[in-house]
Copies of this chain bind each other. A is one copy, B any other.
Amino acid sequence: MTEKMAGKITLRELAERIGARLEGGMAETNILGMAPLESAKAGDVTFLTSRKYAEQARATTASAVICTEEFTGLPKEGTAALRCKNPDLARAKALNIFFPPHKYQAGIHTTAVIDASAKIGKNAHIGPYVVIGANVVLGDDCVVLAHVVIYAGSKTGNRFFAHAHAVVRENCMIGDDVELQNGVVLGANGFGFAKDTETGRWHRIQQTGQVIIGNNVEIHANSCIDRASMQETRIADGARIDNLVHVGHGSTVGENSLLCAQVGLAGSTEIGKNVVLAGQVGVAGHCRVGDDVQVVAQSGIPGDVEDGRIVSGSPIMDFKVWKRSTAIFPKLPEMARAIRLLEKGPEKP
């Protein structure tokens, strides 16, 4: 994915490109690489994104440290501070400079099977054994790696990037700057059945809807976003979905929301904007999780959640309440004993 930068960059230029204020150090010093605090050395830029490591940062021999305005103890001789409001973001930008993503050459591998009716944009890289169905439209500058399968009727914007073995099913609509990691399945049939109560058998409810993915979305390895029965499953702009996540049919994920690994949304589940669902969270169907909600790992959400709440537990409750109640849970045997004693009353003298 990434390759070591061939060249070098001056402190001055680095500060500009990551939006930092240079303090100490020589503006024309060349920075040659980037490394975490535990291994950074002279010539490197490093970063302090958590206070936990402040002592390490004060002792570093790196040429520069990305840090907040508030951090004290730097610069010491030979180490510049690259001060900014958001060192996390500045670090991300610096990594992009020192480890630019691999560039895939434009070209279509001879083994790719592409339907004659498909339209492929400019500068596409199409890898070996890719299969692209009828009426597919790919925007410009797309990268479609080995073994990716795109079923009939799907459309993507520009800079679509699909890693090996990703699958896009029928009639998906995908925006610009969408990346699928390996093994992602977009648009498989939703899990919808009607019970024939006389025979006990399940009849399939045809999943006739679509999956619609906004702009600037990442979906990670082996996650599954199911197509809706009617209408659509929708992932909004800027959403991030980690590995092995299940998004049931007819669900929506709002802008800039984050679904961590192994999260499951049952179906017709509505996740607002800027929501964070930590790992293994489950959300029931036909309910709404409001904007800016944060959910602790392994929580179970059975119904609507108001905007801005921080919740935990299965079923969920207020996070602070959950902290207190789970702290008491291991004392239940003592509590039960105390109640029994109280019920007996004071020993007769």
Q: Which residues of A contact B (CB under 8 A)?
A: 1-2, 35-36, 39, 85-86, 88-89, 91-93, 95-96, 99, 101-102, 109, 111, 113, 127-129, 131, 145-147, 149, 151, 163-165, 167, 169-170, 181-183, 185, 188-189, 191, 193-197, 200-208, 216, 218, 220-222, 224, 226-227, 229-231, 238, 240, 242-244, 246, 248, 255-256, 258, 260-262, 264, 266, 273-274, 278-280, 282, 284, 297-298, 300, 302, 313-315, 317-318, 321-322, 324-326, 328-333, 335-336, 338-339, 342-343
Contacts and interface: CB of A to CB of B under 8 A. Distances in A.
A189 B166 CA distance: 14
A201 B216 CA distance: 9
Q: How many copies are assembled?
A: 3
A325 B2 CA distance: 50
A99 to B, nearest CB: 4
Contact of A188 (B220, B326, B329, B332): B220
15 contacts: A1-B170, A2-B207, A86-B197, A91-B205, A128-B129, A149-B164, A165-B167, A169-B182, A193-B240, A224-B261, A246-B262, A248-B261, A264-B280, A266-B278, A284-B297
A260 B266 contact: yes
Contacts of A181: 185, 188-189
Given A1-B206, A201-B238, 18 more contacts: A35-B230, A36-B230, A86-B197, A89-B196, A92-B206, A149-B165, A165-B165, A165-B183, A181-B185, A183-B224, A191-B261, A202-B240, A202-B256, A222-B224, A298-B298, A322-B330, A335-B336, A338-B339
